[in-house]
Amino acid sequence: MISLVFLLCGVSAHAQRTPIPQPPIIGAKSFLLIDGNTGAELASLKPDERLAPASLTKLMTAYAIFRALDEGQIALDDLVTVSEKAWRTEGSRMFIEVDTRVSVQDLVLGMIVQSGNDASVALAEHAAGTEDVFSQVMNQHAAQLGMTGSNFRNASGMPNEDHYSTARDMATLARAIINEFPEYYRWYSVKEFEYNGIKQPNRNSLLWRDESVDGMKTGRTDEAGYCLVSSAQRGDMRIISVVLGTASAKARIDGSHSLLNYGFRFFETRLLYRAGETVATAKIWKAAKETTPLGLLENLYVTIPRGSFDEVESVLNMPETLLAPVAQGQPIAELQVSLNGDQLLKMPLRALEDNPDGSFWQQTKDGVTLWFE
């Protein structure tokens, strides 16, 4: 195995830097702050504690609906007949009426902007027949996303002792919605929505306070307290904050805003390598071409303390002998990225093109050379 070490920005400064301060105290039962691109954890308090998610549940309801839309199981212009169950659902409402027909798009906006429990149940029944079956779908998606601390029993977040989630799982879910469904995520920044002559504002008042905030969802029950998942983008950096169990609507907004500002102030996200960019070249023996370019299939970002990019190092671990054939996308080497000796991530470097077997003469020639080496 050959290891090649290279700095990303020339000569490393290794300067003494001011330590990052502790995150703000916000009076929450649990919180988590992550980078939206990399998923890196920036600050946390009991992020894996299982708590009642209240209307944050509707993020999973939305994810399941977005999946159904993406897979063609339902359509935005479908007309949904409102059941008595949906109409009678307690809590925050979109104010749909029993036996009326409402488009899926209006129901989605009613769920996202107005936090309509009635809209959530109507969507669940349309997508899966019953809310109970839809909750199974929600849990299947949660498992696929790696949300190991969550269990959903309904589509709205109504209290249930077997209905819970964690700050980490909610951050995972928020990141999935943002990255997988940008065309639907834009609805989380809608500040008000009118249906049936009733106009209601988005309960996420951070949308008015900070123009960099473009989502996502509030929640509140007696058991859960006041909760908020928020997301903001400044420049090329996106940060997601999850705050669970504060004492008031003001506390969840102030606390979330403090966490977002903390993340943007003390951290930065940098693009290391673009998808398809040649990071290194590998010598391939007995091949049609002497070398093969290696790179990544997706953009590679790293989240680091602000101002420390000059100290980031990459180590490339590559086998000493590589033989043809090589297929495009085949993992060839391992890229390890570290900051001042602490590993940040490791990723496989893959062949960016095919390199088939060489001619009989090339294979014979390389075989003899390898024999002597």
Residue 233 is classified by DSSP as E
Rounded to whole angstroms, what are the CA distances from 84 to 121, 129, 133, 297, 373? 10, 14, 17, 49, 80
Closest CA to 163 of 153, 148, 176: 153
First to last CA, the chain: 15
Q: What is the pLDDT of residue 175?
A: 98
Q: What is the pLDDT of residue 10?
A: 42
Q: Quick check: is 58 catalytic?
A: yes
Superfamily of domain 2-13+272-372: D-Ala-D-Ala carboxypeptidase, C-terminal domain (2.60.410.10)
DSSP states along 119-151: HHHHHHHHHHSSHHHHHHHHHHHHHHHT-TT-B
With tokens 């029950």, the residue in question is 221
Are 80 and 102 contacting, i.e. CB atoms less than 8 angstroms apart?
Answer: yes
Q: Which H or E run includes 347?
A: strand 342-351
Q: What is the dihedral of CA 300, 301, 307, 308, to 10 degrees?
A: -60
Residue 19 buriedness (CB in 10 A; 0-12 / 13-18 / 19+): exposed
With tokens 């029944």, the residue in question is 125
With tokens 């249930």, the residue in question is 160
With tokens 């993992």, the residue in question is 331
Q: Quick check: is 286 catalytic?
A: no
With tokens 């940060």, the residue in question is 239
Q: Omega of the bond prior to 325 within 30 degrees of 0, cis?
A: yes
Residue 135's Cβ-side half-sphere holds a number of Cα atoms within 13 Å equal to 18
Closest CA to 231 of 179, 271, 266, 289: 179
Q: Which H or E run includes 194?
A: strand 192-195
Are 288 and 326 contacting, i.e. CB atoms less than 8 angstroms apart?
Answer: no
CB count in 10 Å sphere of residue 90: 9
**What are the E-state strand segments in 196-339?**
198-201, 213-221, 225-234, 237-246, 267-273, 280-283, 291-295, 300-305, 312-318, 331-339
Cα(156)–Cα(345) distance, rounded to whole angstroms?
37
**What are the E-state strand segments in 18-172?**
30-35, 41-45, 79-81, 101-103
Q: What is the pLDDT of residue 363?
A: 86
The residue from 30, 83, 115, 150 that is catalytic is 115
Are 159 and 221 contacting, i.e. CB atoms less than 8 angstroms apart?
Answer: yes
**Structural domain boundaries in the chain:** 2-13+272-372, 30-246
Cα(266)–Cα(261) distance, rounded to whole angstroms?
9
CATH pick for 30-246 out of 3.40.710.10, 3.30.200.20, 1.10.8.60, 3.40.50.2300? 3.40.710.10
The residue from 29, 30, 44, 58 that is catalytic is 58
Q: What is the pLDDT along the chain (373 residues), one digit of tens a residue?
A: 665 555 554 444 444 567 899 999 999 999 999 999 999 999 999 999 999 999 999 999 999 999 999 999 999 999 999 999 999 999 999 999 999 999 999 999 999 999 999 999 999 999 999 999 999 999 999 999 999 999 999 999 999 999 999 999 999 999 999 999 999 999 999 999 999 999 999 999 999 999 999 999 999 999 999 999 999 999 989 999 999 999 999 999 999 999 999 999 999 999 999 999 999 999 999 999 999 999 999 999 999 999 999 999 999 999 999 999 999 999 999 999 999 889 999 999 999 999 999 899 988 888 888 888 7
Q: Name the pTM for this structure.
A: 0.89
Q: Quick check: is 103 catalytic?
A: no
The residue from 30, 55, 205, 241 that is catalytic is 55
In this structure, which amino acid lies at residue 326?
A: V
